[in-house]
Copies of this chain bind each other. A is one copy, B any other.
Amino acid sequence: DSLEKLAMVGSGNFGSALVRILGQNALRHDIFDNEVKLYVYEEMIDGKPLTEIINETNENVKYLKGAKFTPNVKAVPDLAEAVKGATMVCFCLPHQFLKPLMPTIKESVAPGAKVLSAIKGIDFDDNGVVLISDLLRQGLNADCSVLMGANVANDMASDQFCETTIGYKDAKNGELFKLAFDAPALKVGTVPDTVGVELCGALKNIVAIGAGYSDGLGYGGNTKAALIRIGLKEMIKFCKMFYPTAGIDDDTFLESCGVADLITTCFGGRNRKCAEAYAKANKAKTLEEIEAEILQGQKLQGTLTAKEVNHILKMKNLERAPRFLSDRRAHPGAPLFATPTALCLSLVP
């Protein structure tokens, strides 16, 4: 048959919020097969497999409690079975878990399957930034779109209106994924710029650390707004400097993945929160101690990304590139935290 078969790899908080929409849209639009498969890394909840609980209750009780899937969302603990014959595969899991899964996925999906990454983060190798979408393209030999935006999962799950952005290389696939995600409470914008969209999702976390630090020091709205604005300009500059031929589009930064996600992350989110606590503790605690207290085992994306961005700038001998590092030399009076990246680098050992 010629129906598009949807699958989601990853069943955490955000992946579950996204697959809930996919389930609704698979029923809404004729071009999709009704069944949407959700790969779940199996775990036992009170002695019962999580996949069984999801399939019986239509709810991911562990990672998205209180939100119901439509019954056509089927949780599957076996990866090969979860993506078998899928023509549109979405990814939403921590990127370090991705590589070992790819051979199985490549063997199991339908020929010509297209994929979408909703993974917020970037990887690094000896040559610099490695985009997760490029890992997927290479590992699966597939066209890959990306989805990023101001999308706090729990608010999405209660159908509070929000937007998201899909960046595509192949316009037809971009439109297909838009159809799969666009919903009454989730308005999808599309842009022909996967790199800009994907980098926004990673770099905003650096700025959020700066915003939290400003909050922790007791500075008001002027300072925080300046920091967010400079951070946005730094994000744009970084993208253009390191991807001069990727077709980075200024408009991308005015999409949900850009300014909107940046705002959400700088006013909510764990990066902001930990940095605020760190500033309030006034060096009585390390950032690592704060992370351990507040995040209970999870790691801050913002500090990891800042460290890696700093490493790249050093490698390229650009550590003093304007804006993305401290511009205190140009503006000696400006407080250090006026440049978010400089701030983050001062926090990272």
Interface set of A (CB-CB < 8 Å, partner B): 150-152, 155-156, 160-163, 183-185, 187, 219-226, 228-230, 232-233, 236, 250, 253-256, 259-261, 263-264, 267-268, 331-335, 338
Q: Which residues from B are CB-within-8-Å of A220?
A: 152, 155, 160, 268
Q: Nearest 7 CB-CB pairs, A to B? A: A184-B333, A162-B222, A150-B225, A229-B260, A225-B260, A155-B220, A221-B264
Contacts A152-B220, A222-B264 given; indicate if A259 touches B162 (C-beta within 8 A).
Answer: no
Cα A224 to Cα B160 in complex, Å, equals 10
CB–CB B150/A222 < 8 A: yes
CB–CB B256/A229 < 8 A: yes
**Nearest residue, chain B, Cβ from A222:** B162
Cα A292 to Cα B159 in complex, Å, equals 34
Contacts A250-B250, A334-B184 given; indicate if A226 touches B155 (C-beta within 8 A).
Answer: no
Q: Which residues from B are CB-within-8-Å of A184?
A: 332-334
Q: Which residues from B are CB-within-8-Å of A255?
A: 229
CB–CB A226/B150 < 8 A: yes
CB–CB A219/B334 < 8 A: no
CB–CB A260/B161 < 8 A: no
Across the interface, A333 reaches (CB within 8 A) one of B160, B185, B331, namely B185
Cα A267 to Cα B223 in complex, Å, equals 13
Give min CB distance, A38 to chain B, whole Å.
22
The oligomer's copy count stands at: 2
Contacts A187-B334, A250-B250 given; indicate if A219 touches B161 (C-beta within 8 A).
Answer: yes
CB–CB B268/A221 < 8 A: yes
Q: Which residues from B are CB-within-8-Å of A151?
A: 222
Q: Which residues from B are CB-within-8-Å of A155?
A: 219-223
Cα A132 to Cα B287 in complex, Å, equals 49
Q: Which residues from B are CB-within-8-Å of A226?
A: 150, 161-163, 187, 256, 260
Give min CB distance, A260 to chain B, whole Å.
4
Cα A87 to Cα B233 in complex, Å, equals 35
Cα A348 to Cα B207 in complex, Å, equals 37
Contacts A254-B229, A254-B233 given; indicate if A223 touches B162 (C-beta within 8 A).
Answer: yes
Extra A-B contacts (7), CB below 8 Å, given A232-B259, A259-B259: A152-B221, A161-B338, A162-B222, A163-B222, A163-B230, A187-B331, A187-B334
14 pairs of residues in contact across A and B, judged by CB atoms under 8 Å: A150-B229, A156-B222, A161-B226, A162-B225, A184-B334, A187-B226, A187-B338, A224-B263, A225-B260, A228-B263, A229-B260, A232-B254, A259-B259, A263-B263
Cα A161 to Cα B335 in complex, Å, equals 7
Cα A298 to Cα B93 in complex, Å, equals 51
Q: Which residues from B are CB-within-8-Å of A225?
A: 150, 162, 256, 260-261, 263-264
* Chain B CB within 10 Å, residue with most, of A225, A230, A259, A263: A225
Q: Which residues from B are CB-within-8-Å of A228?
A: 259-260, 263
Cα A185 to Cα B333 in complex, Å, equals 7
* Chain B CB within 10 Å, residue with most, of A221, A254, A268, A334: A221
Give min CB distance, A62 to chain B, whole Å.
22
Q: Which residues from B are CB-within-8-Å of A264?
A: 221-222, 224-225
Q: Which residues from B are CB-within-8-Å of A260?
A: 225-226, 228-229
